Amino acid sequence: MAKHSTVASFVPVQKRWSLMILLCIALSTAVAFFIGASFNSCNSVEYPDRHNFNAPVQSFSSGGTTAAKEENPLDFMKSKFVLMVSHELSLSGGPLLLMELAFLLRAVGTRVVWITNQKPAESDDVAFSLEQRMTDRGVEIMSAKGQETVDAALKADLVILNTAVAGKWLDAVLQKNVARVLPKVLWWIHEMRGHYFKLEYVKHLPFVAGAMIDSQTTADYWKNRTHERLRIKMPETYVVHLGNSKELMEVAEDSIARRVLREHIRESLGIRKDDLLFAIINSVSRGKGQDLFLKGFYEALQLSKERKLKLPPMHAVIVGSDMGAQTKFETELRNFVADKKIQENVHFVNKTLNVAPYLASIDILVQNSQARGECFGRITIEAMSFELPVLGTAAGGTMEIVVNGTTGWLHPAGKVGVTPLAENIIQLATDVEMRRTMGTKGYARVKEMFLEHHMSHRISLVLKDVLQKAKRSIH
Ligand SMILES: *[C@@H]1O[C@H](CO)[C@@H](O)[C@H](O)[C@H]1NC(C)=O
Ligand SMILES: *[C@@H]1O[C@H](CO)[C@@H](O)[C@H](O)[C@H]1NC(C)=O
Ligand SMILES: *[C@@H]1O[C@H](CO)[C@@H](O)[C@H](O)[C@H]1NC(C)=O
């Protein structure tokens, strides 16, 4: 141990810098969550994950597939032409995921054309730099409408619509050609909020080749809602869980990088080496449950006092604030902290695209998304790759990631979950061994099912299936 700290403290300043810069660059695409004012539940965008199939039959169960990668599972896409339709171009989860898929396909030589359906009126630096990044990788950017686009849609082997809202593009642009394109559409859905269940967006859903959804829970929910609310039937649905990017895994598996980042972040927050640090890393909004987390955290502090537990000082960091926005909810969180006089223990950090430094610096991740929970919740698998135990709500995709009692503890969503969360906080705080074991098991679970190559493999099965169907429908 002593040896390790010596190493870390002698990492020269220059190396630190290059490390930081490297991290920023490497992670900026892969891990962009926040941004985009308020994510309620699984709304605008979250991250997909593995797949197994639900609608009619088939199940490509993802667990336990051979991790060894002899060849790229997407190789068969080499000479294909894929048109991607993104509802917008921003640093939110949906577009970034689609971009990741674009890059995976480019890496095997697929021709990829990208369309952004809703371009912002004024010029937008973020969109510009994202387009730049795509062009650099050989993705062709095309205007959302016009004859060229219609021709591309007719010619493509596959059209991937991203998010429910992108459904608006079909009629608006393709018009009388819609029916010809639908049989080769794969619709990637990352949202679970009620207002997406509108015929305006999804009336063509029953006629596409397939829907790809981030978690089983979300897929079930879509099946129910489309049936009950809209009286339409889901097409064949593939559940595809997400995987961690290689860049993130590199940092997670680099003990020096982790140590440097840990020291750096703790120093900046004024948290000592052996203090216990809990974090919730999501854009601050009621749907993500930062308020209930703080209540649970406060209750845990009280319990620890009442029970006279000998615990290291406990801290909570809320990563994902937007102090500039001054929303009612942000104010409510700060007032709570002030009222309870726990300013010393609670830290707020602005939204950031680069979550790795925080994952390196904390001891436990809290995933407290409320109501139907996360569609998937990519931060959860990211935290597990840093060997962190997770305290999560028993809702949405979290239940498909966190194994209760093995890689973390689940508590109910809603107010009823506050006390169980507080107890779970205490339990992990008092039991170093449990934290370590759960962290190790979480990491093993990520290695087994939540890596990029797992995702590529799962997506490749979906693409194969959809291409086959598209071909059949033409003949
Ligand atoms: C779907 O509906 C069925 C029956 O109405 C219900 O049992 C099930 O819990 C619902 N599932 C979801 C995810 O809403
Ligand atoms: C956080 O964001 C606000 C505005 O949104 C800004 O004023 C403040 O300086 C930021 N804090 C840090 C530490 O970057
Ligand atoms: C998690 O496991 C604990 C201990 O077995 C149990 O009390 C709790 O109800 C479980 N939570 C969920 C959501 O299954």
* pLDDT on residue 90: 82
> pLDDT by residue (tens digit) across 75-97?
999 999 999 999 989 877 889 89
* pLDDT on residue 25: 43
Pairwise CA distance, residues 333 & 320, whole Å: 13
Q: Are 191 and 42 in contact (CB under 8 A)?
A: yes
Pairwise CA distance, residues 162 & 167, whole Å: 8
**Amino acid present at 328:** K
* pLDDT on residue 191: 83
Across 65-74, 86-95, 344-353, 457-466, least confident range: 65-74
Interval 256-268 mean pLDDT? 96
Dihedral of alpha carbons 146, 147, 151, 154, sign: positive
Interval 7-24 mean pLDDT? 47
Which residues line ligand 1 at a C-beta cut-off of 6 Å? Answer: 217, 220-221, 224
* pLDDT on residue 75: 97
Pairwise CA distance, residues 284 & 347, whole Å: 13
The phi, psi pair for 176, rounded to 5°, reads: -70, -10
Closest ligand to the CA of 423: 3
pLDDT surpassing 80 at residue 22: no
> pLDDT by residue (tens digit) across 175-189?
999 999 999 999 999
pLDDT-derived band at 400, boundaries 50, 70, 90 = very high
Pairwise CA distance, residues 426 & 303, whole Å: 8
Closest ligand to the CA of 352: 2
Q: Is 132 in the pocket of ligand 3 (CB under 6 A)?
A: no
**How many Å lie between the centroid of ligand 3 and the Cα of residue 346?**
27
* pLDDT on residue 122: 64
**How many Å lie between the centroid of ligand 1 and the Cα of residue 86?**
30
pLDDT-derived band at 120, boundaries 50, 70, 90 = confident
**Taking the CB of residue 135, how many other CB atoms lie within 10 A of it?**
12
**Residue bearing the bigger pLDDT, 389 or 51:** 389
Pairwise CA distance, residues 321 & 283, whole Å: 6
Which residues line ligand 2 at a C-beta cut-off of 6 Å? Answer: 322-324, 350
Interval 294-322 mean pLDDT? 96
Pairwise CA distance, residues 452 & 49, whole Å: 9
Of 265, 318, 319, 350, the one to substitute when testing ligand 2's pocket (max ligand atoms within 8 A of C-beta) is 350
Q: Is 394 in the pocket of ligand 3 (CB under 6 A)?
A: yes
**Residue bearing the bigger pLDDT, 63 or 87:** 87
Of 224, 226, 227, the one to substitute when testing ligand 1's pocket (max ligand atoms within 8 A of C-beta) is 224
Closest ligand to the CA of 413: 3
**How many Å lie between the centroid of ligand 3 and the Cα of residue 400?**
14
**How many Å lie between the centroid of ligand 3 and the Cα of residue 410?**
6
pLDDT-derived band at 43, boundaries 50, 70, 90 = very low
The atom number, within ligand 1, closest to the CA of 224 reads 1
Q: Are 276 and 314 in contact (CB under 8 A)?
A: yes
**How many Å lie between the centroid of ligand 1 and the Cα of residue 319?**
33
**Residue bearing the bigger pLDDT, 23 or 404:** 404
* pLDDT on residue 125: 84
User: CA separation (Å) from 39 to 283, 286, 369, 376, 429?
Assistant: 7, 9, 10, 13, 30
* pLDDT on residue 475: 61
Across 79-83, 249-253, 372-376, least confident range: 372-376
The atom number, within ligand 2, closest to the CA of 324 reads 5
Full set of structural domains in the chain with CATH: 31-243+453-474 (3.40.50.2000), 255-450 (3.40.50.2000)
Closest ligand to the CA of 224: 1
* pLDDT on residue 19: 57
**How many Å lie between the centroid of ligand 2 and the Cα of residue 268?**
14
* pLDDT on residue 435: 98
Pairwise CA distance, residues 11 & 18, whole Å: 11
Interval 44-52 mean pLDDT? 31
* pLDDT on residue 55: 30
Helices (H) and strands (E) in the chain, counts: 19, 14
* pLDDT on residue 187: 97
> pLDDT by residue (tens digit) across 27-41?
443 333 322 222 333
pLDDT-derived band at 195, boundaries 50, 70, 90 = confident
pLDDT surpassing 80 at residue 63: no
The atom number, within ligand 1, closest to the CA of 217 reads 13
Ligand 1 atom 12 nearest Cα: 221
Across 245-249, 387-391, 425-429, least confident range: 245-249
**How many Å lie between the centroid of ligand 3 and the Cα of residue 416?**
14
Closest ligand to the CA of 403: 3
Across 54-68, 262-276, 306-320, 399-413, least confident range: 54-68
Q: Is 416 in the pocket of ligand 3 (CB under 6 A)?
A: no
pLDDT surpassing 50 at residue 334: yes
* pLDDT on residue 9: 37
* pLDDT on residue 416: 98
pLDDT-derived band at 124, boundaries 50, 70, 90 = confident
Across 268-272, 343-347, 404-408, 468-472, least confident range: 468-472
* pLDDT on residue 146: 92
Report the predicted TM-score, pTM, of the whole model to 2 decimal places. 0.84
Across 162-166, 195-199, 264-268, least confident range: 195-199
Ligand 1 atom 1 nearest Cα: 224
* pLDDT on residue 13: 45
**How many Å lie between the centroid of ligand 3 and the Cα of residue 308?**
25
Average pLDDT, the chain: 86
pLDDT surpassing 70 at residue 162: yes
Of 319, 323, 347, the one to substitute when testing ligand 2's pocket (max ligand atoms within 8 A of C-beta) is 323
Of 220, 226, 228, 239, the one to substitute when testing ligand 1's pocket (max ligand atoms within 8 A of C-beta) is 220
pLDDT-derived band at 465, boundaries 50, 70, 90 = very high
Ligand 2 atom 14 nearest Cα: 350
Interval 151-160 mean pLDDT? 97
pLDDT surpassing 70 at residue 259: yes
Interval 301-329 mean pLDDT? 93
Across 65-74, 290-299, 342-351, least confident range: 65-74
pLDDT-derived band at 305, boundaries 50, 70, 90 = very high
